[in-house]
Structures are given as C-alpha cells and as structure tokens.
Amino acid sequence: MRILLIEDDPDLAEVVALGLRNESYAVDLAGTYADAEELLRTTGYDVACVDLGLPDGDGLDLLRRLAHDGALRRPRRSLVLTARDAVADRVAGLDAGADDYLVKPFHFAELVARLRALARRGTGYGARIQVGELTLDLAAHRAWRGGAELNLTAREFSLLRYFMHHPGEVLSAEDLLEHVWDVHANPFTASVRVILSRLRRKLGDPALIVTVTSVGYRLGAPS
C-alpha cells in the first residue's frame, strides 16, 4: 500500500514515515500544500494522511479539491492527522471528504490500525487475508503457505499483500511500482523483477505468481 504523508513538521514526518516503512508501507512525504499537489498530479495513492495546518494552505481545501479536481489523482482513502481536536473540526474534516480523523498526539499503533481498517473498507477482508493456500496476517506481519510460515522481508510482504488484495488480476510492473514502492524507486531498474523473483522462490512450488507475457503478473491457484 502506498501512502502520501502530508506533514509540515519534518521531525514528525520522518519518524512516522520510518515507522510506516517498517510496517512494509511505501511512503512519500510532502511538507507543504504545493508539494502535496505536485505529487497528487502524477501519482496514485492508496491513502493520503493529511495535516490540516500547512504553511501554504489548509488541508481541508486540499481534501475538498480531491473530490472534484480532475488534475489531481484522488487517493482511495484519506485520513486527517491534526492537532485540531474540537468536534466542529472533526465534522469539517469528515465533511470535506476524509474517511477518518486522528488527533495529535497519537499512538503510532493506533495510526497503523486505522490504516489497516481503511485498507479493508469495501474489500470484505478482515485482519487476515486468505487466498488459496496463502494466509496473511496484516497486524502481526506474518504469512503462511499451507502450514509453513514464510520468512519475508518488509518489501516482499508488501508485494504479496498487494497481490492478495488483487487475486486473479493481471498486475503490470507499473502497477506494482506505484503501489508497493515509493517516489524514490527508479522505474528503469530491475527492482520489481528482483523482489518478485525472491518472493516467488520463498513461496515455493508449484508456482503461485505467474508471468503473463508482455502484460504483467498474476496471483492464482497452482495448476
């Protein structure tokens, strides 16, 4: 899952981003309204975490724009992260289009739990995802094939999670780069192929992720 973290406090932004990356999320940072706008013009995000008090604008205005401005790519979900704790502020944030609202200071574990909840909305998935022989525990960051636990890196876990959220779908390398890697990924490297090869090897035989020639990759049942 790829997250846009819009936060003008650089120390807080770095701490939260590091924690989220350790949870196997891809995270891009924007410290201003303008930075966020630039990223949203070119990149699709699964979740935007929006601070309201930005130095060059109000996060509420950005949330409202996402609903109707075709020049911006609207994230699938949005979460307000702000020190504004009055009921009127919460109502304004949700009415502006946010899916959730979390007041600073917050516990990091709660932020991660809310992100998991946002990711589950509309999918029918719970805290565990089951696809054929594969089981993924999103909270514990554990994965199994059959009864055997898989020893996955954070990136491998994130890649498998994305495949398991889209079982049977053909996913291009560009899809995987956009949702599993962050803005620092070089689209001209073999990064997707290398991580995917490692994941396939750890998943074992028969193969669960197959290559669809000239199109991409698909997670399906073994033949």
Characterize the bridge pairing of strands 134-137 and 128-131.
Answer: antiparallel
Give which of 84, 75, 90, 83 is closest to 27, Cα–Cα. 75
Domains of the chain: 2-120 (3.40.50.2300), 128-219 (1.10.10.10)
pLDDT tens sequence across 40-60: 999 889 999 999 999 999 999
CA–CA dist 45, 77 (Å, integer): 8
pLDDT above 60 (res 124): no
pLDDT above 90 (res 102): yes
CA–CA dist 154, 217 (Å, integer): 20
* Rounded average pLDDT over 179-184: 79
CA–CA dist 115, 5 (Å, integer): 12
Radius of gyration (Cα) for the chain, nearest Å? 18
pTM confidence score: 0.75
Element (H, E) at 120: helix 108-120
Per-residue pLDDT at 178: 83
Q: Which alpha helices (H) appear in the chain, and where do they start and end?
A: 10-22, 33-42, 59-66, 87-95, 108-120, 154-165, 173-180, 191-203
pLDDT tens sequence across 151-165: 999 889 989 999 998
In three-state secondary structure terms, 207 is coil
What residue type is assigned to position 211 of the chain? Answer: T
- Of residues 211 and 139, the one with the higher pLDDT is 211
